Amino acid sequence: MREAARLFGDKGYHATSIADIIQSAGIARGTFYLYFDNKRAIFEELVDLLLDRLDHAIRLVDTGPEAPSARRQLLDNLHRVIELLDEERSLLAILLEGAVGLDRDFDDKLAEFYDRMARAIESSLILGLEFGMVRPCQTRVVSLAVLGGLKEVLHDLLLRTGPGAPRDVEALASSILDLYTRGVLVEGVSFA
Amino acid sequence: MREAARLFGDKGYHATSIADIIQSAGIARGTFYLYFDNKRAIFEELVDLLLDRLDHAIRLVDTGPEAPSARRQLLDNLHRVIELLDEERSLLAILLEGAVGLDRDFDDKLAEFYDRMARAIESSLILGLEFGMVRPCQTRVVSLAVLGGLKEVLHDLLLRTGPGAPRDVEALASSILDLYTRGVLVEGVSFA
Amino acid sequence: MREAARLFGDKGYHATSIADIIQSAGIARGTFYLYFDNKRAIFEELVDLLLDRLDHAIRLVDTGPEAPSARRQLLDNLHRVIELLDEERSLLAILLEGAVGLDRDFDDKLAEFYDRMARAIESSLILGLEFGMVRPCQTRVVSLAVLGGLKEVLHDLLLRTGPGAPRDVEALASSILDLYTRGVLVEGVSFA
Amino acid sequence: MREAARLFGDKGYHATSIADIIQSAGIARGTFYLYFDNKRAIFEELVDLLLDRLDHAIRLVDTGPEAPSARRQLLDNLHRVIELLDEERSLLAILLEGAVGLDRDFDDKLAEFYDRMARAIESSLILGLEFGMVRPCQTRVVSLAVLGGLKEVLHDLLLRTGPGAPRDVEALASSILDLYTRGVLVEGVSFA
DNA sequence: TATGAATGAGTCTTCATTCAT
DNA sequence: TATGAATGAAGACTCATTCAT
């Protein structure tokens, strides 16, 4: 049923009608309203699902003695996110494009999610600062820049290119990480 | 009349009705259609206007002997963009949020604009590469990351904060530029 | 539902609004659009229905040995047509008046129908010519005159007079047939 | 100015907008309303003009001793009408098609005109009856048939064929007249 | 006498939602 | 649990008409 919300990803929230959805899903109008209160509800459920999975895919850097290198952990985060979004391409479209202007509540939820992401990044920066690895900077601004950069690259990677396009995720992740680590680390210091 | 399209910025394209617009503008229904073919037309005109102004605000780095330093030129670009968008806060909202899912043509126009921006950034990187200042990297990916970072920071700066919020644009611009130049320059090299 | 299209007959296509129709039919706006694509569609369906029934009511003269006299057959045609149109007075109005200037396609459809009628009449004339019963004449012109005459008489009979007006259809049909057979037959010849 | 009401003939009353008219006429909106109260008014004026001219073109049969033969007079009537309508093809279209369903008043005016025509024909028949030339018949029905036949033939002649089509008006008029005179005259009697 | 910008009532059409079966 | 016919509020757009200049 939910896979019929590929429609949201393809056509956007407003361009997708209940008629589209029930037809794709092969169910009756009434049945739809049996499971969802309204159009907004299914959309919200879809987005909540993705945000949850994203929240789980992203883990704060573990600085414990046994933990893998910070670089490794960050790369793994990137990999998990890319993989997840690659599977849920249509939901990604919702996340990056389709969810705006629907509702104040909705916008807030999304803003909150992105804010959480930005804070996660910022907390990593602050951690680095404390360890003397990250140079002093406006951590809020930098974390926003990092977040936005990720969004844009993922957007390009996953939505602008066809689904089966060959891509070197490893190289890509490294590129991004390099850009930001170099941009942010104290000179001379390097990631393990 | 156009200032009544603050509505688009505030509420988004779909949530803004012709009735809203004409009421805000204090004109009659027919008058609206005297100047715009339809709802889409006014929205498009608004966006076109902003894209044009942005295109003009952003200038490629001049490498001539008399030209200011590259850093200065990039900072100036940033300043001009921020200033412009600060004035046209509502249009910025359209640009960053409201224009999606309206129309294939429309999406294409926006995608094209962002692509132009990304290419401009990329060409700067390539220039730097040729001068031996920029380290080898995936220029496409990096330029997308830069573009996305800018979008996110501007979004935060201009839309999340109230209109009259005090802000140190100079420091902000420096922060962003630093992040990216450090992330991208050959080690040891610095911007004049 | 269809009887609510008496409105078309009474007021004409343009003067009849969807609001009129749904009010007369006692249904909701949406319900109307559930069954008809648009205003034009219901009108077209109405007309198609009538044209079909008329096509069936009118039969070419059978010249076989067992067939009733030509005069009888023509009278029967007239009777059937008058009866049909008498039942569907409102549709007749559409046919004779209301369908003009709506659409090129529509005009064409109507013109085609009348052309078919004229050709049917003409073919009867030609048959009569071959049998030596009909005098030489411009068969096209005569058939048009016959068709037009019928239309005008029916118009007067059915629309100008109230619905319950007493009328001697038999005498009327004879009058018309007489006029045209006398006008058309070789002198001295008479219809069986 | 009035020739811009060729539009009415071409497209029908409803499909012709004031915008069309003033554009064709090369005048301003306000100017139009300086000369005509409203859209209906110009249309009515146009029709009145034509009806007047038709009324003048059609003359009752003069039975005086010096008068030309009745056949000649009827043929002349036909010629004058055809000529007039040929010149005013667009007005003819209004007359035959475009004027229906506009307005009860309007329909009445048209109905009245046609009634006048029918009565004129009927009075000729009655005259013929008195002279013993016309056979007993339902004069009302016959006159309607004649009127309708004329309308249909003229419609075909003038509107279905291109403007410059060659046509033998003399032969046509004779054909029509023959049809009706034969249909109506006492057997053995012929028109002088 | 001519203009044309402004008007707003009127119309068609869409679509999320309900509810009796 | 499933259906889908019915609903009607809402919205975009048209166009005859007015009136200040």
Per-residue pLDDT tens digits for C100-153: 667 778 888 888 999 999 999 999 889 888 988 888 889 999 999 999 999 999
Is residue A191 in some structural domain?
Answer: no
Query: Domain for residue A134, yes or no?
Result: yes
Alpha helices in A12-69 (DSSP H): 18-25, 29-35, 39-57
Q: Is residue C83 part of a domain?
A: yes
- CA pair distance A108, A52, nearest whole angstrom: 16
Asked whether the beta carbons of A61 and A74 are under 8 A apart, the reply is yes
Are C153 and D145 an interchain contact pair (Cβ–Cβ within 8 Å)? Answer: yes
State the DSSP code for B38: S
Q: Residue C186 corresponds to which tokens in the numbers above?
A: 């070789």
- pLDDT for res D165: 65
Question: In the predicted model, what is the mean pLDDT of residues B141-160?
Answer: 89
Tokens of B79: 């300043």
What type of residue is D176? I
Domain residues for the domain of C73 are 39-184
Q: For chain F, which bases have at least one atom within 7 A of a protein Cβ?
A: 1-20
Q: Please indicate, yes or no, if residue B57 is contained in any of the structural domains.
A: yes
The reply to whether A29 Cβ lies less than 7 angstroms from strand E is yes
pLDDT for residue D64: 85
Q: Which two tokens stand for residue A160?
A: 């602008």
Q: Is the CB of D17 under 7 A from strand F?
A: yes
From chain C, the residues in CB contact with D177 under 8 A are none
Best of D156, D169, D185 to disrupt the C interface by mutation (most C CBs within 10 Å)? Answer: D156
Which of B149 and A108 is assigned the larger pLDDT? B149
- Dist CA C127 CA C130 (whole Å): 5
Contacts of A among chains (3+ CB pairs under 8 A)? B
More confident residue, B147 or C165: B147
> Nucleotide E10: nearest residue by CA–C1'?
C17
Distance separating alpha carbons of residues D12 and D5, to the nearest angstrom: 10
Give the largest CA-CA distance in chain A.
65
Mean pLDDT to the nearest integer, A41-61: 90
pLDDT of residue C106: 83
Task: Please state the rounded mean pLDDT for residues D124-145.
Answer: 89
Q: Check whether C192 has a pLDDT greater than 60.
A: no
How many CB atoms lie under 10 A from the CB of residue C89?
14
CB contact under 8 A, C179 and D137: yes
Give chains near B: 3+ CB pairs under 8 A. Answer: A
Q: Using a CB-CB distance cutoff of 8 angstroms, which residues of chain B are in contact with residue A152?
A: 144-145, 147-149, 151
- Residue C135, sorted as left (phi over 0), alpha (psi -120 to 50) or beta, turns out to be beta
Instruction: Confirm whether B177 is domain-assigned.
Output: yes
How many residues in chain A? 192
Closest residue by C-alpha to C1' distance, nucleotide E17: A38
- A174 located within any domain: yes
Instruction: Using the predicted structure, report yes or no on whether residue C52 has a pLDDT greater than 70.
Output: yes
The answer as to whether A79 is a domain residue is yes
Total domains in the fold of chain C: 1
Interface contact C180-D184, CB threshold 8 A: no
Whether the per-residue pLDDT at A29 is higher than 60: the answer is yes
Distance CA A58, CA A150 (A): 13
Give pTM, 2 decimals.
0.86
- What's the CA gap between D165 and D154, in Å, rounded? 13
Question: CA of D184: which chain C residue's CA is closest?
Answer: C179
What's residue A32's pLDDT?
94
| CATH code (residue D60) | 1.10.357.10
Confirm whether C110 is domain-assigned.
Answer: yes
- Measured in angstroms, what separates residue A36's CA from nucleotide E19's C1'? 16
- CB count within 10 Å of CB D86 equals 15
pLDDT beyond 90 at A131: no
pLDDT digits (tens, 9 = 90+) for D33-74: 999 999 999 999 988 988 999 999 998 888 888 989 888 888
Separation of alpha carbons B80 and B65, rounded Å: 23
CB contact under 8 A, A179 and B145: yes
Nearest-angstrom CA–CA distance, D52 and D78:
16
Most confident by average pLDDT, B29-43, C70-84, D77-91, D151-165 = B29-43
> What's the pLDDT tens digit per position in B157-181?
887 776 666 678 888 888 888 899 8
Q: What are phi and psi of C166, to 5 degrees?
A: -70, 140
Task: Yes or no: say if A70 and A137 are a contact pair by the CB < 8 Å rule.
Answer: no
Q: How far apart are CA A41 and CA A32, in angstroms?
A: 11
Using the predicted structure, report yes or no on whether residue B15 has a pLDDT greater than 80: yes
pLDDT at B143 over 70: yes
